[in-house]
Amino acid sequence: MNLNVLKDNIEKTPAYVFDENIIDSNLSQLIDLKHKSGCQVLYSIKALPLGQVLSKAKDYLDGLSVSSLFEARLAREVLGDEGVIQITTPGLRDGEVYELKELCTHISFNSINQYHRFDKKFLLNTSLGLRINPKISFAIDDRFNPCRHYSKLGVGIDSLNSIPVDIEGLHFHTVFSHQDFLPLEQTVAVLKKKFSDELGRLKWLNLGGGYLYNQIVDQQSFINLVKQLKTEFDIEVYIEPGKSVVNNTGYLVSTIIDSFSSDGKRVLVLDTSVNHNPEVFEYQKTLTLLEENKHGYFSCILAGSSCLAGDLFGEYHFEKLLQVGDRIVFSNVGAYSLIKANRFNGYNLPDIYWIDKANHYTLIKSSSYENYQKQWIG
Ligand SMILES: Cc1ncc(COP(=O)(O)O)c(C=O)c1O
């Protein structure tokens, strides 16, 4: 990625920029994994439900995974009559489930209570599953640990004596941005131990998302695991990655709009804020900034332009002091940024650009005061 070309092709900031070349590369890695292992790949649309990405997922993958009625409607609109749509959510609403079963090919209940609540005779033609909490934690931080104590995500494996007869599949999702397959091997081992006699009568197993497939060099253990599951139990194996499809495809371009010293530290105010990437605040995450030189002499606090004192991207180092008017670029912001972005303080959402395979930049979306006005007054 040529930084200057990127900055020069953006008319105004802030702007998200998504690169089709990188999406294609991520998707072809997943297709390779699918061919080598025999798994089915669904794109978890919560990471970035952008039309361009969804239609690529439609062309390359086996379907989509969703977590709500709106996501399910969007997914079905994109896929048409073809393709798998799987849903699991703690938020299944009574009034929505009958529409969901028209939209989704698979519904995994999040709790035994949820499973009992819906009359199964109305859910014919939909493959029913259970989300399991295998109760082995791999995330250090409980904010994104589905196996945390008192978890709301899935049926605790210790509380389930056997799999109900009308359940055709199991789903689990237990890791966050993991870069090796050890948790997967350990989790499958726990499942096999608990349900050894029952897995053979299931139709499918969904191993969830959470793995950064595009960053894991040795994929042989995954390939062996899936092959083994398919041979031993004659089941379909699904994965539903989100972040590994889109995260490294997205950039956030911003302009410095003020610069001053505060208690001896240089503060650079940006025309973006953590509201354009709320995980920076939620998880106190540090984004990669392409202009940074970690050994640079100048250190500055990059601050968002909202009224929140903690709206900060953190302290970054530079070779030369950046000036008001300079543009900067955060990378690896393709997942969970645009979808969580909001207009807090009345600041507009960033424009959205798409870089196609011929490296042409197209402005694909732009919000205005009218969108803001419509949202709050109508
Ligand atoms: C059930 C489920 N599946 C898939 C995903 C996608 O995970 P990731 O984007 O980390 O691959 C998530 C993310 O929260 C999830 O909750």
In the structure, what pLDDT confidence band is assigned to residue 279 with cuts at 50, 70 and 90?
very high
Q: Average pLDDT, stretch 346-358? A: 98
Residues 139 and 253 reside in one and the same domain? no
Q: Whose CA is nearest to atom 16 of ligand 1?
A: 173
131 lines ligand 1 (CB under 6 A): no
pLDDT tens-place string over residues 28-70:
999 999 999 999 999 999 999 999 999 999 999 999 999 999 9
SS3 69: helix
Residue-level pLDDT at 312: 98
Q: Say if CB 48 and CB 332 are below 8 A apart.
A: no
Is residue 28 assigned to a domain?
Answer: no
Is residue 32 assigned to a domain?
Answer: no
Residues 232 and 96 reside in one and the same domain? yes
CATH code, domain with 306: 2.40.37.10
Residues 11 and 49 reside in one and the same domain? no
Is residue 30 assigned to a domain?
Answer: no
Q: Say if CB 40 and CB 62 are below 8 A apart.
A: yes
171 lines ligand 1 (CB under 6 A): no
pLDDT tens-place string over residues 79-138:
999 999 999 999 999 999 999 999 999 999 999 999 999 888 788 889 999 999 999 999
Residue-level pLDDT at 121: 78
Residues 91 and 176 reside in one and the same domain? yes
Is residue 358 assigned to a domain?
Answer: yes
**Could you tell which of 85, 173, 205 is best to mutate to test the pocket of ligand 1, judged by most ligand atoms within 8 Å of the CB?**
173
Task: Calculate the CA 371 to chain-centre distance.
Answer: 25
User: Which ligand 1 atom sits closest to the C-alpha of 335?
Assistant: 9
Residue-level pLDDT at 357: 96
63 lines ligand 1 (CB under 6 A): no
Residue-level pLDDT at 275: 98
Is residue 31 assigned to a domain?
Answer: no
CATH code, domain with 82: 3.20.20.10
Centroid of ligand 1 to alpha carbon of 201 (angstroms): 26
Residues of the chain with pLDDT > 90, as a percent, come to 96
240 lines ligand 1 (CB under 6 A): yes
Residues 326 and 368 reside in one and the same domain? yes
Q: Average pLDDT, stretch 237-252? A: 98
In the structure, what pLDDT confidence band is assigned to residue 300 with cuts at 50, 70 and 90?
very high
Q: Average pLDDT, stretch 234-263? A: 98
Residues 92 and 228 reside in one and the same domain? yes
Query: Is the confidence at residue 1, as pLDDT, over 80?
Result: no
Residues 88 and 156 reside in one and the same domain? yes
Residues 277 and 358 reside in one and the same domain? yes
Q: Whose CA is nearest to atom 5 of ligand 1?
A: 209
Query: Is the confidence at residue 280, as pLDDT, over 80?
Result: yes
> Hey, what are 57's tokens?
């997922």
> Which of 112-121, 237-246, 251-260, 338-347 bottoms out in mean pLDDT, i.e. has the lowest?
112-121
User: Which ligand 1 atom sits closest to the C-alpha of 210?
Assistant: 10
Query: Is the confidence at residue 196, as pLDDT, over 90?
Result: no
Query: Is the confidence at residue 210, as pLDDT, over 90?
Result: yes
Residues 232 and 268 reside in one and the same domain? no
Q: Per this entry, what is the length of the chain? A: 378
107 lines ligand 1 (CB under 6 A): no
Please count the structural domains in the chain.
2
The torsion region of residue 352 among left (phi > 0), alpha (psi -120 to 50) and beta comes to beta
For residue 56, CA distances in Å to 28, 52, 53, 211, 339 come to: 11, 6, 5, 20, 18
Residues 120 and 170 reside in one and the same domain? yes
Q: Whose CA is nearest to atom 12 of ligand 1?
A: 209
- Cβ neighbors of 86 (< 8 A, separation 6 or more) are 42, 63, 64, 65, 66, 104, 105, 106, 107, 108, 129, 171, 206, 238, 240
Is residue 24 assigned to a domain?
Answer: no
pLDDT tens-place string over residues 178-192:
999 999 999 999 999
Centroid of ligand 1 to alpha carbon of 90 (angstroms): 14
> Hey, what are 370's tokens?
């009218």
Is the pTM of the predicted complex or chain greater than 0.95?
A: yes
Residues 211 and 261 reside in one and the same domain? no
Residues of the chain with pLDDT > 70, as a percent, come to 100
Residues 309 and 325 reside in one and the same domain? yes
Which residue is listed with tokens 């010293």? 261
In the structure, what pLDDT confidence band is assigned to residue 253 with cuts at 50, 70 and 90?
very high
CA-wise closest residue to 337 among 290, 276, 281 = 276
210 lines ligand 1 (CB under 6 A): yes
- C-alpha–C-alpha distance, residues 240 and 342, integer Å: 26
Q: Average pLDDT, stretch 307-317? A: 98
Domain end, chosen from 218, 241, 264, is at 241
- Which domain does 123 fall in, by range? 38-241
**Could you tell which of 33, 42, 43, 44 is best to mutate to test the pocket of ligand 1, judged by most ligand atoms within 8 Å of the CB?**
44
Q: Say if CB 171 and CB 208 are below 8 A apart.
A: yes
Residue-level pLDDT at 122: 80
Domain end, chosen from 221, 241, 261, is at 241
Q: Say if CB 329 and CB 7 are below 8 A apart.
A: yes
Is residue 147 assigned to a domain?
Answer: yes
Domain end, chosen from 176, 207, 241, is at 241
C-beta atoms surrounding 287 within 10 Å:
19
**Backbone φ and ψ of 270, nearest 5°:** -105, 160
C-beta atoms surrounding 200 within 10 Å:
11
> Hey, what are 378's tokens?
């109508």
Centroid of ligand 1 to alpha carbon of 47 (angstroms): 8
Q: Whose CA is nearest to atom 4 of ligand 1?
A: 209
For residue 109, CA distances in Å to 157, 174, 236, 317 come to: 14, 16, 18, 47
